[in-house]
Homo-oligomer: A and B are copies of this chain.
Amino acid sequence: MARVVVDVMLKPEILDPQGQAVVAALARLGFDSITAVRQGKRFEVEVDGELTDARLDEVRQAAGTLLANPVIEDFDVRVESAV
């Protein structure tokens, strides 16, 4: 069983109101050195059996069709443990 992590973040040119709300709240709470926050999603995906190239491609395809909206989001797929 392998674990693959998919990080999904809004593209840099897309406004992120969630992140803006977080950075404003941090400033009110006194965390002055934090100047910007962007919020995205992290998926921990477990893949059955050995992590072949075909199975990793399947995860990439799932990320591009279901986990991320490629119109407004970028995603990054990386293997965390291939055991």
Contacts and interface: CB of A to CB of B under 8 A. Distances in A.
B35 A1 contact: yes
A46 B39 CA distance: 12
Interface residues of A, number: 35
A39 B49 CA distance: 21
Contacts of A39: 41-44
B42 A58 contact: no
B44 A9 contact: yes
Contacts of A42: 7-9, 39-42
Interface of A: 1, 7-9, 19, 22, 25-26, 29, 31, 33-49, 55, 58-59, 61-62, 65-67
